[in-house]
Structure 1
Amino acid sequence: MKNKTVAAWLAFLGGPLGLHRFYLYGLGDWIGWLLPIPTALGVYGIQRVQQWGQDDQLSWMLIPLLGFTIAGCALRAILYGLMTPERWNARFNPAAAPDAAPGRTHWFTVFAIATSLLVGTAVLMASIAFSFQRYFEYQIEEARKISQ
């Protein structure tokens, strides 16, 4: 029996590593195996910023990958948490009754939804702001080079 609350927390906390996908679909899920790739690339971008500063062009393209992956997994946690028990059990627990306990929403599920909404929104907005800021700064630098 797949529990909706566990899946929501796994999507929020371990989503960038694919833990929620492995919990729901098993170790054969190829999307679960692909999720760590943008996460690792984003972490590599952060390491490049720490090593070479914010002027590194590759880092400002890699860092948003981490942010978008975290935000996407937070969205997935919200979607899992908001699923009706009937839909959850039909999709992930087909042998169970439509109103079986693993598909029900509890307070711990609500906290997963609220936390995912808070953190996911903040990370998404920060990723968008960082990437646009660096992009426009790069455009200004290139325009300055052309005008000289």
Structure 2
Amino acid sequence: MKNKTIAAWLAFLGGPLGLHRFYLYGFGDMLGWLLPVPTALGLYGIERVQQWGQDDQLSWMLIPLLGFTIAGCALCAIVYGLMPPEKWNARFNKAAAPDSPAGRTNWFTVFAVTVSLLVGAAVLLASIAFSLQRYFEYQVEEARKISQ
């Protein structure tokens, strides 16, 4: 029996590592094994910023990967949390009755959806703002080089 609340919290807290995919689909899930790749690349981008500074072009291309992965996993948590119990049980608990308790929404599910919405939206907007700011600063620097 796959519990909707556990899946929503795993998607929010351990989503960038693929934990929710392993919980729902098992260890044979390819997307679960691929999710840590953009997470690791984004963390490597943060490490490069700390080492080389904000002028490192590779780092400002890698950092948003982490943000977009976190935001995507938060969106998964929202989708899981808002899925009706009948649809949840039909998709993940095929042997269970449509009104099985594993697919029901409780207050912990509501908290998972709320926190995922707040954090996911903030991380997504911060990633977009960081990417666009660095891109336009790079464009201004290149225009200055051409004009001189």
- TM-score, normalised to structure 1, is 1.00
Equivalent runs, 1:1-148 vs 2, <5 Å: 1-148=1-148
Shift of 1:70: 0.0
Root-mean-square deviation over aligned CA pairs: 0.2
Partner letter of residue 66 of structure 1?
L
3-state SS of paired residue (1:98): coil
* TM superposition outliers: structure 1 runs of 4+ over 4 Å: none
Partner letter of residue 139 of structure 1?
Q
Shift of 1:106: 0.2
Matches of 2:137 and 2:17, distance apart in 1: 32
Any gaps of 5 or more consecutive residues in structure 2? none
3-state SS of paired residue (2:99): coil
- TM-score, normalised to structure 2, is 1.00
Number of corresponding residues: 148
Shift of 1:57: 0.2
Partner letter of residue 95 of structure 1?
A
Matches of 2:79 and 2:40, distance apart in 1: 24
3-state SS of paired residue (2:14): helix
